[in-house]
Amino acid sequence: MKVIKPGPDRMVPRGVVGGAEISQATAGAHNIYMGVFRVPPEARSRPHYHAGCESAVYMLSGTLDVRWGEHLEQSVRIGAGDLVYVPPRETHVLENPSAAEPAEYVVARDAPTEDSVEVPWADDEHHVAGTGGTAAQRS
């Protein structure tokens, strides 16, 4: 048994803010990953997917607009209490539409490491379509 206490925030490669996590690195996990993440007000993640795992998301607070698909053509708004399933290799972007409230969520995956892969072409297409924020908002 191992307890992971909340620690300092850290930027994660896909452009959101991470907190505490259970992973191979922090707990010696072999088949599971779970972490707490935050998207600041008016910020969005970079387009990415998770290569070798399924993900389950539980929204703790706030609201996120999620775009997904080969060309980020599908979208849904999720909020506190919502559960979301993300299959392996599903390119997606998380965007916080609020000017004041961060969006916080918990992610669980069936892999012990963070396997996020950024998709730069999707970011370019997302901006060309006029549906994304500014570079400063993508943090």
Q: What is the pLDDT along the chain (139 residues), one digit of tens a residue?
A: 999 998 888 887 677 898 889 999 999 999 999 999 999 999 999 999 988 899 999 999 999 999 999 889 999 999 999 999 999 999 999 999 999 999 999 999 999 887 788 887 765 554 433 334 333 333 3
Q: Which CATH superfamily is domain 11-134 in?
A: Jelly Rolls (2.60.120.10)
- How far from 96 is each of 8, 26, 111, CA to CA, in Å? 21, 28, 26
In Å, what is the CA distance from 15 to each residue of 29, 46, 101, 116, 136? 24, 6, 17, 11, 11
pTM: 0.83
Residue 139: beta bridge partners?
Answer: none
